[in-house]
């Protein structure tokens, strides 16, 4: 019996084989397209999501896992272990943490000998994935709940997430930026570069072409990595060929301890659209 089970949401950008290797329990976000609801990663793949997104007249909506979803996860895992760590997407952009915490309290009343910690990752996507993976590796090594939770907390301030967007159109359609800004950026072919940390996005730069945006993405990463050994999750939204090309540059420019290529989470992709290239990383 595993001592500590790890639970997270489908916002994490972890390879399927890694999720399976460490037995990470994924609670799916829900995606709503034109009257139909899908469970992310269950009823619809990420590739299928971006195919629909490209054609959608109206933007899909997302909703966090419900209290009931977390109750189901905890009850199922309680048959296998007495200690559970749940790590969620940052509470600044989602209700996942709140639902996970309330569910933990309810299950604690139902099953007195179960211990459940719920942790707000304070980040998203591949950066959240690295926090989850660190916890899963600690759990696999036989650490108890307190130690596994501490391992995750120690990594949280170290993870970074930066991305270049192909367009501001989806942010504009979702009301995140004024339409006139998206129009002007499209006219000038401006590719924004953004960072995401402590639950908030912030602009890091902009470029006139996708090629220059990728160059700037690497420059920003270099400034933060400073030649140290680094763990990288290279994410893309439906542009695998571009991701493979970026991977070649990453391998030549950085001392990678590990490197994954994953698809960028639909939970954020709803707002950023197809064409995103992103790097989540941390240094040892």
pLDDT band, residue 144 (cuts 50/70/90): very high
The reported pLDDT for the residue numbered 172 is 59
Best CA proximity match to 5, nearest among 101, 145, 150, 141: 145
Reported as half-sphere exposure (CB side, CA atoms, 13 A), residue 135 has a value of: 35
Residue 20 and residue 83 share a domain: yes
Residue 251 and residue 224 share a domain: yes
First to last CA, the chain: 30
Residue 239 and residue 149 share a domain: no
The reported pLDDT for the residue numbered 274 is 92
3-state percent breakdown (helix, strand, coil) of the chain, nearest 5: 45, 25, 30
Residue 275 and residue 166 share a domain: yes
- Per-residue pLDDT averaged across 229-257, rounded? 97
**Residue 76 pLDDT greater than 90, yes or no:** yes
**Residue 111 pLDDT greater than 80, yes or no:** yes
Please write the tens of the pLDDT for every residue from 216-240: 999 999 999 999 999 999 999 999 9
CATH number, domain with residue 260: 3.30.1180.10
As beta bridge partners, residue 119 has 87
Residue 151 and residue 242 share a domain: no
CA–CA–CA angle 265, 41, 214 (5° rounding): 25
**Residue 33 pLDDT greater than 90, yes or no:** no
Residue 136 and residue 175 share a domain: no
pTM to 2 decimals?
Answer: 0.93
CATH number, domain with residue 88: 3.40.50.10440
Which among 156, 173, 197 is the end of a domain? Answer: 156
Residue whose pair of structure tokens reads 């942790």 in the numeric block = 119
Residue 172 and residue 110 share a domain: no
Which among 95, 127, 156 is the end of a domain? Answer: 156
Indicate the pairing of strand 4-9 with strand 83-88.
Answer: parallel
Please write the tens of the pLDDT for every residue from 159-206: 999 999 987 777 656 444 444 344 334 534 678 888 887 767 788 888
Number of domains in the chain: 2
Q: Tell whether the torsion through CA atoms of 220, 226, 227 and 229 is positive or negative.
A: negative
The reported pLDDT for the residue numbered 58 is 82
pLDDT band, residue 56 (cuts 50/70/90): confident
**Residue 133 pLDDT greater than 60, yes or no:** yes
Instruction: Print the domain residue range for 275.
Output: 160-283
pLDDT band, residue 208 (cuts 50/70/90): confident
Residue 227 and residue 113 share a domain: no
Which among 116, 131, 156 is the end of a domain? Answer: 156
122: Cβ contacts below 8 Å, ≥ 6 apart: 90, 92, 156, 198, 199
CA–CA gap between residue 194 and residue 165 (Å, rounded)? 8
**Residue 100 pLDDT greater than 70, yes or no:** yes
CA–CA gap between residue 62 and residue 227 (Å, rounded)? 38
- Per-residue pLDDT averaged across 48-69, rounded? 90
**Rounded to 10 degrees, what is the CA torsion of 256, 22, 262, 252?**
10
């Amino acid at each position: 019996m595993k001592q500590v089970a790890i639970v997270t949401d489908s916002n994490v950008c972890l390879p399927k084989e890694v999720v399976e290797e460490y037995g990470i329990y994924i609670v799916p976000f829900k995606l709503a397209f034109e009257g139909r609801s899908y469970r992310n990663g269950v009823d619809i793949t990420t590739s299928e999501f971006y195919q629909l997104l490209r054609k959608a007249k109206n933007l899909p909506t997302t909703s966090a896992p419900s209290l009931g979803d977390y109750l189901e996860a905890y009850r199922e895992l309680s048959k296998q272990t007495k200690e559970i760590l749940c790590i969620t997407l940052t509470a600044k952009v989602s209700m996942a943490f709140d639902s996970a915490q309330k569910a933990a309290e309810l299950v604690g009343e139902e099953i007195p000998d179960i211990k459940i910690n719920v942790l707000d990752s304070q980040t998203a996507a591949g950066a959240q994935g690295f926090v989850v993976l660190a916890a899963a590796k600690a759990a696999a090594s036989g650490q108890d709940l307190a130690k596994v939770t501490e391992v995750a907390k120690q990594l949280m301030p170290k993870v970074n997430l930066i991305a270049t967007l192909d367009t501001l159109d989806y942010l504009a359609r979702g009301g995140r930026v004024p339409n006139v800004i998206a129009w002007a950026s499209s006219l000038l072919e401006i590719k924004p570069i953004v960072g995401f940390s402590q639950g908030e996005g912030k602009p890091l730069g902009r470029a006139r072409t996708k090629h220059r945006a990728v160059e700037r993405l690497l420059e920003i990463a270099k400034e933060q990595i400073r030649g140290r050994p680094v763990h990288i999750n290279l994410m893309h939204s439906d542009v695998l060929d571009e991701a493979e090309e970026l991977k070649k540059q990453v391998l030549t420019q950085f001392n990678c301890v590990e490197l994954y290529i994953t698809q960028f989470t639909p939970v954020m992709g709803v707002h950023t659209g197809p064409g995103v290239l992103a790097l989540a990383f941390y240094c040892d």
